[in-house]
Amino acid sequence: MTQRLLTHLRHVDLAVPDYDRQLAFYTGPWGLVPVAEDSGISFLAAEGSPEQYVVRLRKAEEKRLDLISFGAANRADVDTLAEQLLADGVQLISRPGTLRTPGGGYGFRFFDVDGRTVEVSAEVGTREHRRIEEREAIPVRLSHVVVNSPDIGATRDWYERHLSFALSDAIGSPRTGDIMNFLRISSQHHTLGIAAGPHTSVHHVSFEMRGLDEFMRGTGRLLRAGARMTWGPGRHLAGDNTFSYFLDPHGNTVEYTTEMEELDEDSWHPHSYTFMDEEVSDQWGTANPMNEVVAKEQHNDVDRGVFVAPPV
């Protein structure tokens, strides 16, 4: 395997027209904390995470994904990755340099095969964080992100070839082929998921809770606040993690999860699960059935940021 230069997921950045309502959701019932704000842009942290922020919200005329950010171990790895991507013909948005977002650091941006903006950075200052206490039902950290792709095979191949992601598991059927691939950059079962969809868009963004009790308490808080839960609570087979999926005010799917599987990468072999087996979607059998309505909501709106770099 090519040397893996990515270490973890840092943050996911979203742009929305109704910025105030989106901000109120993420800093209210969802449980994130504002750490910086400047004229229509907010940086939101998870209390248990050393990352400066895990979500960035930006006011914009059109809803879009601004970028997905990954960490690297040091600036040498950032430079190495940038040179490798250039040599492979990947379109860079910026060359490695000083970042001007909270925590600073050294990084660069580029387009993936579907036109999403990806950022890789190192030497970002850590944030003072704390241990999340028992029964404290707020996100500990950002867990993973899943994206929709009109060509799941090409997108998976691109992330494996250029960023050294590895396949952990796949879900599909002989009739449909793969409809979901789970990719890792560490022993965590997946940091990135790729779903087969009709267009490029965000499928869901997932946040890790302290444990099962906090996961259920957080799910209940969202329900009491009037947020729409589209699927859950349940427990997936691939990754063995729990799930409760909600819609944010702009129709992005966000997830509370916990207990993601940790793999022995030296001995792990990917499974090919069939979605026809109900336990694949939900081992517990407690969630509402996955159906066309839920699937359509997770397809989200067409991303207006494809091959268009965000302004900040």
Q: Report pLDDT digits (tens) over 174-209.
A: 899 999 999 999 999 999 999 999 999 999 999 999
Residues 163 and 113 in one domain: no
Please state the φ and ψ torsions of residue 54, each to the nearest 5 degrees. Answer: -115, -15
In whole angstroms, give the CA distance from residue 6 to residue 8. 6
Residue 113, in any domain of the structure = yes
Domain ranges, residue 148? 141-299
Whether 82 and 174 map to the same domain: the answer is: no
Question: Can you state the angle between helices 75-87 and 152-163, rounded to 10 degrees?
Answer: 130
pLDDT tens string 51-71: 999 999 999 999 999 999 999
Indicate if 117 and 153 belong to the same structural domain. Answer: no
- Angstrom distances, CA of residue 77 to CA of 93, 96, 157: 18, 11, 21
pLDDT averaged over the chain?
97
Asked whether residue 307 is assigned to any structural domain, the reply reads no
Query: Measuring CA to CA, which residue among 34, 29, 28 is closest to residue 47?
Result: 34
Of the chain, the percentage scoring pLDDT greater than 90 comes to 97
Query: How many domains are contained in the chain?
Result: 2
Strand partners, 149: 196
Q: Quick one: average pLDDT of 96-117? A: 98
The reply to whether 105 and 183 lie within a common domain is no
Q: Give the C-alpha separation, 224 to 110, whole Å.
A: 40
Structure tokens at 124: 């970002």
What are 223-238's pLDDT values in tens digits?
Answer: 999 999 999 999 999 9
Is residue 175 domain-shared with residue 266, that is, in the same domain?
yes
Section 28-54 average pLDDT: 97
- Residue 135: pLDDT over 70: yes
Does the pTM surpass 0.95? The reply is yes
pLDDT of residue 3: 82
User: Is the domain of 116 the same as that of 149?
Assistant: no
Dihedral, 87, 90, 94, 99 alpha carbons, nearest 10: -90
Amino acid at 149: S
Environment class of residue 152 by beta-carbon count within 10 Å: exposed (0-12), middle (13-18) or buried (19+)? buried
How much is the pLDDT for 276?
87
pLDDT per position as a tens digit, 230-276: 999 999 999 999 999 999 999 999 999 999 999 999 999 999 999 88
> Is 171 in the same domain as 51?
no
Q: Please, which pLDDT band fits residue 1 given cuts at 50, 70 and 90?
A: very low
What Å distances lie between residue 13 and 63, 181, 230, 281, CA to CA? 11, 22, 22, 28
User: What pLDDT is attached to residue 214?
Assistant: 98
Residue 235 placed within a domain: yes
Joined tokens for residue 264 = 């022995």
CATH number at 76 reads 3.10.180.10
* pLDDT at 295 exceeding the cut of 70: yes
* In a domain? residue 1: no
> Residues 139-168: what's their mean pLDDT?
98
Instruction: Give yes or no: residues 240 and 159 share one domain.
Output: yes
